[in-house]
């Protein structure tokens, strides 16, 4: 996977090492950190573009994120696309959870799924919530899912 920062700077280390290095630096500066992971997607013709973000929030001192973009050529419905977004986030959360526990850092997994049944993405709400909660993670959906709805949305 190719990860980068918002300014375009590539992250050369494997993502787990880069996250640990970042946590050690931030915690060493006395910041209290929370990590939120989310994904979003856009359909452009026959291509579905995904963005997955790892957002590092410094309590009362802003934050920053690591970004991964991927593309897939596949026709899929809204439910399948929403669950694929969630699976990308869960995959990263699962990879990082022992590291975050080691450093006592809170983790949330955000889904770009609307809780209002009038929106199409709501079709996948129950499955996404069950998947994330079943993996033992804290689940957030719109309007509280800023990592997916705002951060990933801006870089997809």
Phi, psi (rounded to 5 degrees) for 103 = -100, 10
Please determine, for residue 116, whether its predicted confidence score (pLDDT) is greater than 90: no
Residue 104 is part of a domain; what is its CATH number? 3.30.420
Q: 39-53, 67-81, 117-131, 134-148 — which is least confidently predicted?
A: 117-131
Question: Which residue, among 20, 27, 100, 18, has the nearest Cα to 58 in the 3D structure?
Answer: 27
Instruction: Give pLDDT, residue 118.
Output: 86
* pLDDT recorded at residue 121: 84
Q: How confident is the model at residue 87 (pLDDT cuts 50, 70, 90)?
A: very high
> Does residue 123 have a pLDDT over 90?
no
- Domain region containing 151: 3-155
Strand order in the sheet with 138-142: 10-11, 3-5, 63-73, 47-58, 33-44, 106-114, 138-142
Which pLDDT score is estimated for 2? 94
Give the chain's domain count. Answer: 1
Q: What is the sign of the dihedral through the CA atoms of 51, 140, 146 and 121?
A: positive
């Amino acid at each position: 996977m190719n990860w980068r920062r918002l300014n375009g700077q590539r992250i050369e280390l494997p993502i787990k090492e880069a996250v640990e290095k970042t946590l050690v630096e931030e915690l060493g500066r006395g910041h209290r950190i929370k990590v939120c992971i989310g994904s979003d997607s856009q359909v452009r013709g026959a291509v579905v573009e995904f963005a997955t973000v790892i957002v590092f929030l410094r309590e009362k001192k802003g934050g920053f994120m690591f970004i991964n973009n991927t593309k897939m050529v596949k026709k899929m419905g809204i439910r399948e696309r929403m669950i694929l977004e969630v699976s990308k986030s869960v995959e990263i959360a699962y990879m990082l959870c022992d590291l975050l526990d080691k450093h006592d850092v809170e983790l949330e997994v955000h889904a770009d799924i609307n809780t209002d049944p009038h929106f199409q993405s709501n079709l996948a709400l129950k499955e996404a919530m069950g998947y994330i909660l079943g993996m033992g993670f804290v689940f957030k959906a719109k309007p509280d899912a800023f990592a997916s709805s705002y951060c990933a949305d801006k870089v997809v």
